[in-house]
Amino acid sequence: MTESLPPVHLAGNCAVDVTIENTAGNVRRKDTSSTGRIQIIYEAPETLLAGNAGWPAYLLATMGHPVQLNSKVGHDPFGIFL
Residues within the interface to other proteins (CB under 8 A): 2, 6-24, 50-53, 56-58, 61-62, 66-76, 78-79, 82
Distances (CA, A) of 11 to 3, 8, 42, 52, 60: 22, 10, 37, 9, 14
Please, which residue, 31 or 79, has the CB nearer to other proteins? 79
d(CA 13, CA 35): 35
Please, which residue, 40 or 79, has the CB nearer to other proteins? 79
* Least distance CB 34 / other proteins (angstroms): 19
Rounded CA Rg of the chain: 19
* Least distance CB 61 / other proteins (angstroms): 5
Please, which residue, 40 or 78, has the CB nearer to other proteins? 78
Return the SS3 of 32: coil
